[in-house]
Amino acid sequence: MEVDIASNINKIKQRIAAAAVRSRRAPDSIKLLAVTKTVSPLYIGKAIDAGIFTFGENYVQEAKEKIAVIEKKVQWHMIGHLQSNKAKYAVRLFDYIHSVDRIDLAREVDKKAGVIGRKINILIEVNISGEKTKNGIPADAAISLIKDISRLENLSVRGLMTMAPYSTNPEDARLYFKALRNLRDAIINEGITNINMEELSMGMTDDFEIAIEEGATIVRIGRAIFGERR
């Protein structure tokens, strides 16, 4: 069955707007990031035609192949786990990296960005739930990491990213999203130089409305746009 990508995007935008209104926020303060893991360039093109210009990829090699054939100017975000040995490719491909969670990775990204004269926007990935199966720095170590990263010339820290534990009830995610927002506020209160906490990347297909109500500025939506992964 053919997926009506334009219709799906319109429905998601309506739900984003409704969630924003409920939380007394401007709908245009929330960015819709289309997650394109395993999605073909053809479907990405349909999303672009429907007004989406920000895309998230999980793997460097997969992203590299797609970016090479997507001719229109769009913004690419790395949202998957990034290995240090892939930093030299990531700094050329992506406008944002959401998954920085350790100082050695940050230093490598900074080094490779400096080589090509770019300053890379990054988000700090926080394992807010403490699950062993998830990547991300523990919440209680995030401020220390950000202080270390603030000294790196070629990185611009723009905020935080997290994933809530899987649940069949979206409401279960609320406490994790609230915890990330509170961590963001604590970081702001530290007054760390060269740090901007404008972005909270949290919420996916099953829980993005709860994330918006708790302050998300970027929601990462894949399945609700493109259908089940192929």
pLDDT tens, residue order, the chain (230 aa): 689 999 999 999 999 999 999 999 999 999 999 999 999 999 999 999 999 999 999 999 999 999 999 988 899 999 999 999 999 999 999 999 999 999 999 999 999 999 999 999 999 999 999 998 899 999 999 999 999 999 999 999 999 999 999 999 999 999 999 999 999 999 999 999 999 999 999 999 999 999 999 999 999 999 999 998 76
The neighbour count for residue 99, using CB atoms within 10 Å, is: 22
The sign of the dihedral angle between the CA atoms of 121, 77, 103, 137 is: positive
For 135, residues 6+ apart whose C-beta sits below 8 A from its C-beta are 81, 99, 101, 125, 127
Query: What is the per-residue pLDDT for 54?
Result: 97
Give the largest Cα separation in the chain, rounded: 52
Tokens of 186: 């604590």
CATH number at residue 102: 3.20.20.10
Domain count, the chain: 1
Strand 137-138 and strand 155-161: the pairing is: unpaired
Question: Of 109, 120, 39, which Cα lies nearest the Cα of 77?
Answer: 120
Q: If you ran DSSP here, which 8-state letter would residue 125 be given?
A: E
| Encoded tokens for 43 | 């479907």
DSSP string, 158-189: EEEE--PPP-SSGGGGHHHHHHHHHHHHHHHH
- Residue-range definition of the domain harbouring residue 193: 5-226
pLDDT at 230: 60
Are 47 and 9 in contact, with CB atoms under 8 Å apart? yes
Token couple for 93: 């491909």
What pLDDT does residue 2 have?
Answer: 82
| Residues listed for the chain | 230
pTM for this one?
A: 0.95
Nearest to 77 by CA among 220, 230, 223: 220
